[in-house]
Structure 1
Amino acid sequence: MSKFDSPKIMPRYTFITILMTLVAVAVIGKTLYIMTAKRDYWMAVADRQKKDSVSVKPMRGNILSCDEQLMASTLPEYKLYMDFNALYEAKNDSLWTAKLDSICNGLHNIFPEKSAASFRRHLEEGRNKLSRHWLLWDKRVDYNTFTEVRALPVFRLPKFKSGFHTEEYNARQRPYGSLAGRTVGDMYGAKDTARFGLELSYDSILRGSNGIIHRRKVLNKFLDIMDTPPIDGADIVTTIDVNMQDLAERSLLDEMKEINAHVGVVLVMEVATGDVKAIVNMERCSDGQYREVKNHAVSDLLEPGSVFKVASIMTAIDDGVVDTAYKVNTGGGTWPMYGREMRDHNWRRGGYGVLSVSRSLEVSSNIGISRVIDQYYHNNPEKFVRGIYRLGLALDFQIPLVGSSPAKIRMPKKAPNGQWLNWSNTALPWMSIGYETQVPPISMLAYYNAIANNGKMMRPRFVKKVMKEGVTIMEFPPEVMKGYEQIAKPRTIKLMQDVLRKVVSQGLAKKAGSDLFQVAGKTGTAQMSKGAAGYKSGSVDYLLSFAGYFPADAPRYSCIVCIQKTGIPASGGQMCGPVFRNIAEGIMAKDIKLDVRDAKDTSSVLCPDVKAGNVLAADYVLSHLGIKTFADWSANNVKGSSLWGHATIKDGKAVALRRTKQYARSQMPDVHGMGARDAVYLIESRGVKVRVVGRGRVVKQSIEPGTAVKLGMHCELILES
């Protein structure tokens, strides 16, 4: 007999089947409802739970000086926001109300431009709107300011409880301020885009490559999952010498203020390599202050004036038509030239009479130079201009700065009937003395640098190499311009070197000379054209200049100084010469090595009073002065509570020295127990690259605290919750 009791089992089975069917229908119905009627709502919810293909910006590379000092670096900046919805959801409304006065007073202390009452009204407005992204302060702030705000009541809580959150940006900072600012370049802060200078020219190298992450919300927190890691930008090492740049800027500014100049330019170049060691572009602004607004050194196409005369005579000597002893009659200081009158600067005093070509350059005689060139090239001006081209003055150096332009020296062309097109009888005489041409200061300096370099034309170099994590990945070696390994015959170069020495020692450029070493160069004073208005419309503008090199017997550096001013007095030798001398003596003084023992006062038994500073440097000086030293090296704490002690002993007296915080920044800090953001900031502010492993707080760092920091070091931080 069967044990299956159908009357009892089947009703139960039927009930379960019907129940499961109803559940299935309900599930399918709910699914259809979600897929249709609630589709938009749930798609919005899904978007809040995940973010795909989120771009991660890399760290922009640094711009370094020739000795690898930071000239431009990237540091974090923050915009501060408040999420009042998060505050409400975390049920911290009562805490906010209780602490609002303290928060407003704290914000006022941090941002004194705005009163506590204004902050209170602003915050209450955001709270009434239950804004999720209410801006606390309308400007970006640096890391130190961010930490001050984060320490205020409520804000110090986690962001999901306090609502306080930030947006982080990579901000470009220049430790030396505006020094060489137009050449180093700048960024559009909001767009993180290069504006000009080396920042723009080498943007692809400095920028690096973006990474990609996707984000998933887990336990009410977003988890970042890296798909493609960002590649940080590389560093570029420039040829700029910070000390020379500072010296050039100060020397030029002092002179410009004294003579009320409009624009001033200084370029210093290393003779053997073509390295630009200093580049200054000062311009008087509407408020009377001098700033770098435009890179005049590479973009100003102006008639150079008398500094061009050297190229004119050099062409004639190289062509063999004259030599430096050739005599020319300059008359009483004026000479008719095809319906126009050529004048020398001393024409009111009767001129120079008969001069040699060498002496014509020494006293910068317009008549002497123009008569020689007109006599030998009048019937074939093309030959003269080709000679100027042969000297490299019209070369395009491909300067890596936006706005740079090669010189414009027009070439005469002959028509089929034998007439010269767009060429007058006066064009050649005036071209020979620096008019009818447009040459930027850097092209003129490169030419004088070639004379100092025995005829070898170097391409002006602004960047020496590219580095990544302390390793050189690309080099830009010194480059001789192709076809300009010798711009003139060696004899011609030697003659011009002798003449340029005489211009300074016994000519119009005596103020550029130095009692300490020989200087060679040429002055220039040119009236500036005002376009259609001509040269003498209203007040007369002048371009004053001096181009040369030093020391003349073994050239190391070449330099050009250009100043634009209105009205007289106006003299390249009198106004640019002193600037050149100050720069030259300042640069050469760096190489003067004196015996430190000469500083010892034998009549005194007092121990020197050594101030706080670099202990190793102080120890070096004291030991060379014959003062014994001893050191008490204690454990170093990055916060400065325990600093190195040091003392000197002489005649039983000791003077204690203390190591400063500034020197402590050259050592690896102790970041154990810190969060990732604080630890990374402290270490990377010392130039060390950081790799973070794990989450939570630092439990281990690969470089021991107190280790001397070197450029290119890497530190791995192990974090645990």
Structure 2
Amino acid sequence: MAVEDKKFSYRIYAVAFAIFVMAILVSVKLANIQWVEGDYYRQLAQDATVKDFALPSNRGNVYSSDGSLLATSIPNYTVRFDALAPKGEDFDKYRQGLADSLSIMLGKSSEFYYYELEKARREKNRYMLVVKDLSYTELTRIKSFPLFNLGAFKGGVIVENRIVREHPMGKIAERTIGYDPGRDVGIEGAFAHYLKGEDGRRKMQKIAKNHWKPISDNNEKEPVDGYDVVSTINVYIQDIAHHALLKQLEYYEADHGCVVVMETKTGYIRAISNLGRATDGSYYETINYAVGEAHEPGSTFKLAGLLAMLEDGKVDTTQVFDSKGGDITYYGRHVHDSHRGGYGKVSLARGFELSSNTILVQALYESYKDNPKQFLKRLNEFNLDRKLGVSIKGEASPRIPKPGDKGWSKLSLPWMGFGYGISVTPLQTLTLYNAVANNGEMVKPLFVQEIKEWDKTIKTYDKVVLNPKICSDETLNKVRKILENVVKKGTGSKLYSPNFSMAGKTGTAQVNYGKGKSRDGDMYYASSFVGYFPADNPQYSCIVIIHKPHVGKGYYGADVSGPVFSRIAQKIFTDAPTTNEVKTLSKPLKAQEDLYAGYYSKDKKKSTVPNIIGMSGMDAVALLGEMGFKVEVVGSGKVKKQSLQPGQAFQKNQTITLELL
């Protein structure tokens, strides 16, 4: 018996020893986890429950040249509620007040919100949705409600924000301004590196149902706002150009079209509209045709041939040519005049004014048939053989055939005489005509004039000269007189007004000329007009191209595109004479100065917030800046709301948010 008891005791000792050893091992492991590998495991736990989330920076605004907003980033806020964050006594004390406040602001009954808050508390919901799509002013209001005013930890309020891109002008000039910051479209894409800014960081903690909530009200890194881009677009001229083009497209049931208005001396694009037809017959901005569509220009290209011949001394404007009944043949191919029977024997100048194909082709072919490279050299000097290098992406490459190229043939030279066998963009054609208007100086088209950080200029874009002199003054004077006569007594005579001078050239190109059917369909017409105004002192150049107008209603450039050009030119100088203020921008306006002085003298010495409701946004920003505020602006126009109440005390560098409308 004693032997069995002794064996039993050994077993107990063995088990106790084993437990003791295991306890030591567990203790060693715990110590190792706590002190040796503790940082590693704590990091694993933190990585699983706490993460850094990017806080998108406020993308910079895009402005028109006159200060109107074309694209802006609007903060958009969502408010949620962590029902477990508040203490029981705080929740019971403020629940009814919060429900009443939410009811007044959001429209549903107080009982609805009281029940939802109670339900969230009962179900331990830490991520209850309260409301979406709030403005900053609305967010400030809702954070002042009972319970929510205790903050994130004591009140349970969770604020999420995202940035929404708004375009105050809607769809107008959408392809040029850019409609999606994520795509390389228009100014938004080309100047994204300035507009984007730098994202911030915020720590978020994982809670129930895979939701995340901010750990604190403070961010790990504050986002840095992007710079503002001041475009060359003039809102008033843009509106005129857009609606003039739209009206004509709708009447002629055309496929698509574009219009560009350029400031002569600077190359600033003051208006650009690109409209394509949808399946329902409406028109909208689809493709930037002015920049990205290269096609045969037709008769508007005759200017390049005339400039080259005059500058090379090949012909004179008084030289007489025979239109030969309006039909001449080169290597078995016919060149026709639009006027049946031709124009008889007329001078080169008159042939251009009447847009005679036979006369211009004869002149060009006889001038350069022995040395076509001499003509092509002139085209190179006119910058027609290469891209303009505009800032907006997607510029199409022009096509000018050269001897030795696959596309060169005996027909190439005569076909160039009336704008066929080549491809150029509308913007390239406009740049050539603008050079004639600008005393021979060819400037690059510009879409942006300045990069700014509030009132501080970061970078300016001054005019870029592509060719300081495309031809002599003698040639310029002759050509400008002929372009003026096109409107007075040539193919553009329907546009003539004794009260307003314009100069330019009509064009009626037969797209897919001589090719019959193609993958793009049968041959169709592209009607155009390009020129400048006023003729005696050009301020603007303009091109209008309308593709595939309804032939039954008309297709000649003077009838289809010419009226758009005329409407734009006359409206700019009759309905908006204030465009002359460009020359007197530095001259103060007395009424504006008195208004600002009144506000300034009234509030500059005060230490309380002024009442600026109804004041213009620009004046309000200037005034508050002088008083020491940091100003944030939402919208455009006059001040509708201000985040700080008038009369309350403030500190220097305190932020005030203005909502403009």
Q: State the TM-score, normalized to the length of structure 2.
A: 0.76
Tell me which amino acid in the other structure corresponds to 1:492: T
Within 5 Å, give how 1:66-77 maps onto structure 2.
66-77=65-76
Q: SS of the counterpart of 2:363?
A: helix
TM-superposed CA distance for 1:100, in Å, is 8.1
Partner of 2:339: 346
Q: Higher relative contact order by CA 8 Å / sep ≥ 6: 1 or 2? A: 2
Residues 147-190 of structure 1: CA deviation (Å, up to 9, x unaligned): 687688876774446644232122222233333222121335xx
Classify the secondary structure of the residue corresponding to 2:272.
strand
The structure 2 residue matched to 1:203, chosen from 192, 197, 212, is 192
What SS does structure 2 have at the residue aligned with 1:279?
A: strand
3-state DSSP of counterpart to 1:413: coil
Is 1:550 the counterpart of 2:539? The answer is no
Mapped contact 2:152–2:216 kept (Cα < 8 A): no
Mapped pair 1:562 → 2:545: yes
Structure 1 position 700 matched with structure 2 position 653: no
> Where does residue 3 of structure 1 map in the other structure?
none
Aligned partner letter, 1:452: A
| Separation in structure 2 between the aligned mates of residue 108 and residue 333 of structure 1, nearest angstrom | 76
Displacement of 1:365 in angstroms is 1.0
Residue matched to 1:588: 573
Please give the alpha-carbon distance, in whole angstroms, between the structure 1 residues aligned to 2:168 and 2:242. 16
SS at match of 2:291: helix
Show the counterpart of 2:473: 490
Contact 1:92-1:161 within 8 A present in 2 as well = no
What's the counterpart of residue 562 of structure 2?
577
Name the residue aligned to 1:332. Answer: 325
> Once the 2 structures are TM-superposed, how far is the Cα of residue 567 of structure 1 from its aligned partner?
3.8
* Correspondence 1:357-376 to 2 at 5 A: 357-376=348-367
Change in 2 beyond 3 A, CA 1:232/1:154 = closer
Q: 1:126 Cα deviation (Å)?
A: 8.1
The SS at the match of 2:537 is: coil
Deviates more, 1:526-535 or 1:235-244: 526-535
Instruction: Indicate whether 1:294 and 2:287 are aligned.
Output: yes
Correspondent of 1:240 among 233, 244, 247: 233
After superposition, the Cα gap between the structure-2 partners of 1:369 and 1:530, relative to the gap in structure 1 and judged at 3 Å, is: closer
1:219-298 pair list within 5 angstroms: 222=216, 224=218, 230-298=223-291
Contact 2:183-2:189 within 8 A present in 1 as well: yes
Whether 1:382 aligns to 2:365 is no
SS state of the match for residue 165, structure 1? Answer: strand
Report SS of the residue matched to 1:364: coil
Question: Could you say what secondary structure the match of 2:384 adopts?
Answer: coil
- SS of aligned partner of 1:435: coil
Structure-1 separation of matches of 2:477 and 2:227 = 44
- Aligned residue number for residue 7 of structure 2: none
- The Cα shift of 1:47 comes to 5.5
Deviation at 1:383, TM superposition (A): 2.6
**2:496 alignment partner in structure 1:** 513
Q: CA deviation at 1:331?
A: 2.2
Q: Which residue of 2 aligns with 1:656?
A: none
Count of equivalent residues: 594
Residues 406 and 443, structure 1, Cα contact 8 Å, conserved in 2: no
Change (3 A) 1:513 1:155: farther
Which of 443, 448, 451 aligns to 1:463? It is 448
- Shift of residue 515 of structure 1? 3.0
2:437 pairs with 1:452: yes
Name the structure 1 match of 2:586: none
For 2:561, give the aligned amino acid.
C
Change (3 A) 1:98 1:488: closer
Deviations 1:283-307 (A, max 9, x none): 1222322211211111111111110
User: Residue 20 of structure 1 corresponds to which residue in structure 2?
Assistant: none
Q: What are the superposed Cα offsets for residues 70-89 of structure 1, whole Å, 9 maximum, x if unpaired?
A: 32222211244444554798
- SS of 2:443's equivalent? coil
Equivalent-residue separation in structure 2 for 1:563 and 1:670 (angstroms): 48
C-alpha distance in 1 between matches for 2:32 and 2:345 = 108
Is the 2:260–2:271 Cα contact (8 Å) retained in structure 1?
yes
1:322 aligns with 2:331: no
AA in 1 matched with 2:389: Q
Change (3 A) 1:207 1:146: same
Do the aligned residues in 2 keep the contact of 1:542 with 1:567 (CA within 8 Å)?
A: no
Q: Does 1:181 align with 2:179?
A: no
- Correspondence for 1:604: none
Name the SS for the 2:650 alignment partner. strand
Q: Which AA in structure 2 matches 1:450?
A: A
Q: Distance in 2 between matches of 1:535 and 1:29?
A: 80
Alpha-carbon distance between aligned partners in 1 of 2:82 and 2:89, rounded to the nearest angstrom: 11
For the 8 Å contact 1:209–1:230, the answer to whether it is kept is: yes
1:62 matched residue in structure 2:
61
Question: Could you give the per-residue CA deviations for residues 521-553 of structure 1, whole angstroms, max 9, x where no partner exists?
Answer: 000011222997647986642211101011111
Residues 83/359 of structure 1: CA separation in 2 closer, same or farther (3 Å cut): same
Name whichever of 326-335 and 543-552 sits farther off.
326-335
1:68 maps to amino acid:
G
Structure 2 CA distance for partners of 1:127 and 1:547, relative to 1, 3 Å: farther
5+ residue gaps, structure 2: 1-23, 207-213, 580-588, 605-609, 639-647, 657-661
- Tell me if structure 1 keeps the 8 A contact 2:269–2:447: yes
Match of 1:303 among 293, 296, 302: 296
Match in the other structure for 1:639: none
Superposed, 1:516-555 pairs within 5 Å as 516-529=499-512, 534=517, 540-555=523-538
Distance (Å, rounded) in 2 between the aligned partners of 1:90 and 1:680:
38
Q: Deviations over 1:387-421 (max 9, x none)?
A: 2222222242211112112422122228xxxxxx5
RMSD of equivalent CA atoms: 4.6
Give secondary structure in 2 for the equivalent of 1:408: coil
Q: Is the 8 A contact 1:382 1:413 kept in 2?
A: no
Q: Deviations over 1:234-255 (max 9, x none)?
A: 2222211111111111211122
Residue identity in the other structure for 1:69: S
Q: For residues 187 and 701 of structure 1, do their structure 2 counterparts lie closer, same or farther at Cα, with a shift above 3 Å needed?
A: farther
Answer whether contact 2:75 2:161 (CA < 8 A) is retained: yes
Q: List per-residue Cα deviations over 1:46-91 (Å, max 9, x = no partner).
A: 5599767x65544322222223333222221124444455479888
- My pick for the range that moved more, 297-306 or 507-516, is 507-516
